[in-house]
A and B are shown apart, each in its own frame.
Chain A
Amino acid sequence: MTQLFDSVYDLHRSRLELLPQLDRPKLGFSSIYMPEELLYAAGIAPFRLTGETRTVSSEASSILSNNFCSYILSCFSEGLDEVYSFADGHVFLDTCDMRKRLYEVWQKHVGGQFYHLLELPKDTKPASFSYYRFQLKRLLGDLEEHYGVTIDEEALRGAIRLCNESRRLLRTASRMRNEGILPIQSMQLLELVKAGSAGMKEEFNRRLSAALREYEGVEAPASPNGCKVLISGSYFDNPSILEVIERTGARIVCEDLSTGFNYFAGEINEDAEDPLSAIADYYLGKAVSARMIDADRRAAHIRDLVEEHEIDAVLYVSLKFCDTNLMDYPYIRHSLAQQGIPVLFIESEQHMTNIQSIRTRIQTFFETRIS
């Protein structure tokens, strides 16, 4: 049964071999607020930059600064190393200052034929929804012009259905993991998410639904013990940290991360009269990350997840120099304290393999909370 899951992970693990073989243009993106629907509707394979294949290079740090978050620097190092030379270009979002700078240096130093900077407002006032919809229309127009295609309503609706299906499947996987039905842990869930954003959604949906079908009817074991953990914060995919937590007997049941729940949360209204407005409503409406001005929405979102999953403790992870998540920490910490939830704050680097300095803190924090 695990082989079926391996075939899903493989979409991520082998993406650099699989993507070039696809007979359609490929565009990279780095933020989960990039509406993949628009690109799928245009017949393009949108894949997410993960920064996994390269550590931070000195060239990347000297062009940007070694004071940038390691996710941005790793992605840029990949770009400079031509890891994504099969791609036509990239769509960037202004989700944080560093991503804006990445857009600029990528254009100059990495190259490609298609570039677009999509603006996502930092608040959710009605005017911002309209403006964001206008931004999506601009992106559609640029795609149509560059690729000589027409993206009609039907194509958009088809892409919405496709992406919603991935979201549903990932939510099911997360639920079955939490119920103890699926033999996967946090890192594997993050890998499923990565596979879902690797530019091959049709295949992803097919493989993941086949894998999940194998577990249909499997009885959930008696609910396992252990401190239930929610992780929240910046871009995060560090297996060493996850392993340390899980070894203490704590169970990670919710990844409030762009590599976790936030990628597959909610759905786009498939029956909306105007599909573009529905896409705008979904993406701006679900934007509860630290980049938004109103941290109350984020705090409420985390509190809801804490309640829903009966969380005992929160790990707040911020990549070093990730300003938005660092700034949010005092307020989120306070908000969780009101709920009686302890928080462990960790500042890390994307490729941090030597975690000695934080291992003891993590162990002590979670071991004292194991019932």
Chain B
Amino acid sequence: MILTREFKLIDGNDRKLQARKMRENLTSYNMDNYIEPSFPKTARYRSLFNAYYITECFKEQTKVAYVGEVFPNELLFAFGFISLNFESISTLFSQSEAIDMCLRLTEENYLPRDLCSSVRAAYGAALANCLPRPDMIIINNHLCDGLSKLGFQFSKIYDTVYSTFNVPLQETDESVAYLAEQFQHVLQEIEQATGMAYDDARFRQVIALSNEAKDYFLKTIDIAKKVHIPGLQRELYEIMAVNCWGMKEMVKICRTLYDETQEKLAAGETAPRMKRMLWVGLAPDQSHEMVQYLEHKIELVYWTTYWEGNLMLLDSGQTLETMARRSISYLWNSVRMREQTAYVCDENEIDCIILVNTWGCRNMMGLGQAVREMALLKKIKFLSVDVDIRDKNNYSFSQVKNRIDAFLEIL
């Protein structure tokens, strides 16, 4: 079914309709694998925040921007925007049966199926008109070619203004200055798109909130590295994936997690140390069969939580410059991959690594060698599996499970 006219989504402006369609399509949400949260207060705040966030997105007066997963959202929050990222949209839909419909729609609308299913799923959700109409789209080269092209495609089907910036590969003084200048330009483009004037005091407030939340996050990370508290690594990963640094709710979530962690420590609610496995690659939601299976047998540590950019505080004197350094750090290459996974392994005393190659993710597949080499050097056991957490056609759990079982036996 063709869902666009003149390459514009039919009824793509109607947030009420979009909210209804999202509700209808997500009715098949997979609750079978519901997991009792280990950090109930944090999980509750996080869920409430997510629900509030999604509800706000569909309100007519809310300003919504679509961005990539590691976009410096502080730039948008300073203007009162809510941001949605393409990868989270894919994750949300892949937890429900609606994912198959999303993927089918992309093919019917000429998007070839040899593309990664994360990109296809987000495009399919838009084609199904389940997403709130954006007021702006900000596109850059994170994390991959597919995502930057997807941003452009979104701007067309929603007939929305977009702003672009280009993250340089190398971190040098010149590249940082170049990116900081582009951020300045993005701020001006947001001003133009919204008619709102940039308010420096508001921006500083957002940066202070971002750092405050990050501070709690880092303190909790320090504990997670040293002791095994069941569910903590996952909770840290979930919070990192929310990527709303700069919103006051994020401070609350991070502070709550820190407090709950301290309470558990005080109550001696730590568990004996299990073998630690580093998960490298796109991670699915916690109800996914692979995560469920592994978490019963091993402590999973997610590499992205510990990625340098996620551990950085912003310098309030040189905000755009530190933001630029943070953004550059997110551009994957083999040196960064080797160094940063080595850092996580050392800090967390990792026993083994699982490299999860998402079908169609050329980046991860091309960089896998770097992780393998690092593992070899450190004598850490390494397993690489090919999966597709969105498109069932590209993956079979039973095959992956056999490989995981054999691997765990060696351990």
Q: Which residues of A does B touch, CB under 8 Å?
A: 63-65, 67-68, 94, 96-98, 100-101, 104-105, 117, 119, 121-123, 125, 127-128, 130-131, 134, 290-291, 293-295, 318, 320-321, 323-324, 326-331, 333-334, 338, 345, 347
CA distance A128 to B139 in the complex (A): 15
List of B residues within 8 angstroms of A121 by Cβ? 166, 168
Of the listed stretches B53-61, B196-204, B248-256, B365-373, name the one at the interface; the rest are far from the partner chain: B365-373
**B109, B119, B141, B365: the one within 8 Å of A327 (CB):** B119
Within 363-382 of B, Cβ neighbours of A (below 8 Å) are at 363, 365-370
Residue picked from B140, B150, B152, most chain A C-beta under 10 Å: B152
**B109, B112, B150, B363: the one within 8 Å of A101 (CB):** B363
List of A residues within 8 angstroms of B359 by Cβ? 67
**A101, A131, A318, A323: the one within 8 Å of B366 (CB):** A101
In contact, B170 and A119 (Cβ under 8 angstroms): yes
Known: A327-B145, A327-B150. A321 touches B170 (CB 8 A): no
In contact, A330 and B366 (Cβ under 8 angstroms): no
Q: Within the complex, what minimum Cβ distance (angstroms) separates B363 from chain A?
A: 5
In contact, B363 and A320 (Cβ under 8 angstroms): no
In contact, B152 and A295 (Cβ under 8 angstroms): yes
Q: Within the complex, what minimum Cβ distance (angstroms) separates B145 from chain A?
A: 5
List of B residues within 8 angstroms of A122 by Cβ? 140-141, 148, 164, 166
List of B residues within 8 angstroms of A320 by Cβ? 114
List of B residues within 8 angstroms of A123 by Cβ? 164-166
In contact, A94 and B169 (Cβ under 8 angstroms): yes
Closest to B113 in A: A326
Q: Within the complex, what minimum Cβ distance (angstroms) separates A147 from chain B?
A: 22
Known: A121-B166, A123-B166. A295 touches B110 (CB 8 A): no
List of B residues within 8 angstroms of A329 by Cβ? 110-112
12 additional contacts (CB under 8 A) given A100-B366, A323-B116, A328-B149: A67-B359, A68-B362, A68-B366, A104-B370, A128-B166, A134-B178, A295-B152, A295-B153, A321-B360, A323-B362, A334-B6, A334-B7
CA distance A119 to B179 in the complex (A): 13
List of A residues within 8 angstroms of B114 by Cβ? 320-321, 326, 347
Known: A65-B357, A122-B166, A323-B145. A331 touches B153 (CB 8 A): yes
In contact, B150 and A330 (Cβ under 8 angstroms): no
Known: A67-B360, A98-B366, A333-B110. A127 touches B149 (CB 8 A): no
Q: Within the complex, what minimum Cβ distance (angstroms) separates B125 from chain A?
A: 16
